Amino acid sequence: MRDYVREGAVAVDFTMGNGHDTLWLSEAVGEKGKVYAFDIQTQARDNTSALLESKGVPKNYTLILDSHDKVKNYVTEGIDVGVFNFGFLPGGDKNITTKRETSLAAVEAAVQLLNDNGALLIAIYPGHEEGRIEGELIEEQLSRLDVFGYTVAKFRLVNASTAPYFFIVEHNPKN
């Protein structure tokens, strides 16, 4: 994500979890930037808040306890970078995982919010059934994006079918 995250950028962490990605984004966008982070679990919000406070990052973040498909209720400006790290909270309840309907709606909203030259990074965990289906549906959704407006790539090991893999979506300015 380093190529896309500059000082002063607006970033969204769509799956806050234990806050590692939120922390990275907060440091990368700096004092003039903004980070919005979403999770549906209080445990995730509290773990993230504690991590960020312990690291003394600038107060450039807003932690939102709501589902990521509601992003437009909270983020009314364009975004430069969005991170999705799907699945369940490491160290938490494995039954509370991202679900296909809300994941697809959140990715669609993220694409609509993406500024020119902005990017989304999406991590998929196909080692569990919901993650496998989520990845297939997101690929189908992303494959429909206009090739002149977006570059969509997939990074996947071909000899490890259950290993996590990634999509990256770049929003290219139209000439």
Ligand X SMILES: C[S@@+](CC[C@H](N)C(=O)[O-])C[C@H]1O[C@@H](n2cnc3c(N)ncnc32)[C@H](O)[C@@H]1O
Rounded Cα distance between 41 and 153, Å, is: 30
Which stretch, 82-90, 114-122, 139-147, 160-168, contacts ligand X (CB under 6 A)? 82-90
Which positions ≥6 away from 154 have C-beta within 8 Å? 139, 165, 166, 167
- Write the CA distances from 15 to 67, 85, 124, 136, 150, integer angstroms: 9, 6, 12, 19, 23
The residue whose Cβ lies closest to ligand X is: 17
Rounded Cα distance between 40 and 65, Å, is: 5
Which stretch, 2-10, 73-81, 94-102, 138-146, contacts ligand X (CB under 6 A)? 94-102
Contact residue for ligand X among 10, 35, 44, 152 (CB under 6 A): 44
Which stretch, 4-12, 36-44, 74-82, 165-173, contacts ligand X (CB under 6 A)? 36-44
Contact set with ligand X (CB under 6 A): 15, 17-21, 38-41, 44, 67-68, 85, 87-89, 96, 98, 102
